[in-house]
Amino acid sequence: MNTSLSTFGALKASGYQPKSIKTELRDNLILNIQAGRNSFPGMHGYEQTVIPQLERAILSKHNINLLGLRGQGKTRIARLMVNLLDEYIPYVAGSEMNDDPFQPISRYARDIIAEKGDDTPISWLHRSDRFFEKLATPDVTIADLIGDIDPIKAANLKLSYADDRVIHFGMIPRANRCLFVINELPDLQARIQVALFNMLEEGDVQIRGFKLRLPLDVHFVFTANPEDYTNRGSIVTPLKDRIGSQILTHYAPTIEIAKQITHQESAHLDQRLCTVHVPELAKDILEQIAFEARDSEYIDQKSGVSARMSITAYENLISTAERRALMNNETETTVRYSDLLGMIPSLTGKMELVYEGEQEGTSFVAEHLISAATKTLFLQSFPKIEKLKKQDQETAYDEVLQWFFDADEMELLEEAPEKTHLKALLAIKPLQKLVQHYCPHVTKADLPFHMEFVLWALVEFKQLSKKRTAAGLSFNDLYGEFLTGL
């Protein structure tokens, strides 16, 4: 479209045909489907579930309600829909409602077109300016969303309150020909939801006695959390009846997809003063923590566990390693298993605990989740550790346990330089042999993390003991530590 056109007459002469916003979305989605283009890039894990439902709703020209727990990408989906709009649309210059010059709805636009005809000036609106978003809170009023009488305008224009020009329109009329997103819809008061469903169905705007017929061209996207749906508020039945499609969102179904999301959202972490290598196993543990949290008896599952927990935890994990490297004046470092403890502040703020969790405390629950994730992933690569075994029964861990039985103790310093840390781990030859046997494809760079991972797992399975020292952690033979205590 030629955006240099500046009058209504020139626009008509160009052969421009106006479309409704729902038709724009539909037509551009059809072009993407036919060309094999992804209309919702970055929405990993939704390819076979949410996205097909979204595309069907757009093809049907439906208003949409995205229903799901926090941190499932509902708002991101709504923002991506802007890319399905035409790049530019014409509107009557100076109109606060983005009036289509072919179908003006405001008093201002109708008057100026009646006065100037084909000489009516037009402007062009980019699709990035056609997105409106409002977080529904209990203090939102009808004046905010729809409008109210403006006494100052009435005084300045010397108009009576019976004149519709004294109305100050709210966000929704100003979002004419735009996408309008209302987040957390159930938190809106019921009377405001009633005003909304009249706009969706009839196009009526009622403001303090005025009944205006405004055929607004708005595509509504609502988001709602099932917790809000049942506990704090609800969506009134007539409004639900007027929302064309309700689509259920969900969390990443696998660790691999969860890692894609975390990596995508943490891309800015590459801009660091030192290079931080993150072993794949560390990324797996981080994502497994979120999976364990979504099954934990300590966490309120109705609130969900946001994907933001993994993202912020990953950021803290990188920063823990970066801080140590800066302290040691190193330009390169590798994440250690003990660095996972640096993620705890990111975990504690993202969990809604039930009574049992509150009794234990957030730090305990966070450490419990790290422990559970460690056990789960350990058993995927290494033999199961039996609680009871026969007297002469050999296990894969005997040589490692014997090494600790013969040694006094082995200490890993939290802030030790890379070379010191690596030297301490490689001194445990049976441990290195065990890791390389059961993880034959582990790289040289990842080997130290795997070795430390096995040490922590042996502690979790009560094969070794661990205690905190002034500068780090000390690993000991379980029974030797017990006898020392006696």
297 and 234 part of one domain:
no
- What's the confidence (pLDDT) of residue 229? 62
For residue 437, the domain's CATH number is 1.10.10
Q: Which pLDDT tens digits describe the chain residue by residue (486 residues)?
A: 678 889 999 999 998 999 999 999 999 999 999 999 999 999 999 999 999 999 999 999 999 999 998 889 999 999 999 999 999 999 999 998 899 999 998 888 988 999 999 999 999 999 999 999 999 888 888 888 877 777 777 677 677 655 667 777 888 888 999 999 999 888 888 888 888 877 777 666 667 666 667 788 999 999 998 876 655 568 888 888 889 999 999 999 999 999 999 988 886 766 777 889 999 999 999 999 999 999 999 998 888 888 899 999 999 999 999 999 999 999 999 999 999 999 999 998 888 888 888 888 889 999 999 999 999 999 999 998 877 666 667 888 989 999 988 887 788 988 999 999 999 999 999 999 999 999 999 999 999 999 999 999 999 999 998 888 888 888 888 766 555 554
**Domain span holding position 470:** 398-485
215 and 182 part of one domain:
yes
Asked if the structure places residue 204 within a domain, the reply is yes
370 and 262 part of one domain:
yes
Residue 229 CB coordination number (10 Å): 14
- What's the confidence (pLDDT) of residue 161? 58
73 and 90 part of one domain:
yes
- What's the confidence (pLDDT) of residue 320? 93
65 and 43 part of one domain:
yes
296 and 235 part of one domain:
no
38 and 186 part of one domain:
yes
376 and 436 part of one domain:
no
Asked if the structure places residue 390 within a domain, the reply is no
80 and 229 part of one domain:
yes
Is the CB of residue 181 less than 8 Å from the CB of residue 131? yes
For residue 273, the domain's CATH number is 1.10.8.80
| Distance set, CA 193 to CA 186, 214, 220 (Å) | 9, 18, 13
- What's the confidence (pLDDT) of residue 303? 82
- Domain-terminating residue out of 199, 219, 248: 248
Taking alpha carbons only, the member of 77, 73, 74 closest to residue 40 is: 77
Burial of 122 (0-12, 13-18, 19+ CB in 10 A): buried
Mention every residue, 6+ apart, whose C-beta is less than 8 A from residue 195: 142, 145, 146, 206
| Distance set, CA 291 to CA 67, 295, 307 (Å) | 20, 7, 10
> Tokens in use for 473?
């952690």
Asked if the structure places residue 393 within a domain, the reply is no
372 and 444 part of one domain:
no
108 and 37 part of one domain:
yes
427 and 278 part of one domain:
no
| DSSP three-state, residue 472 | strand
Asked if the structure places residue 389 within a domain, the reply is no
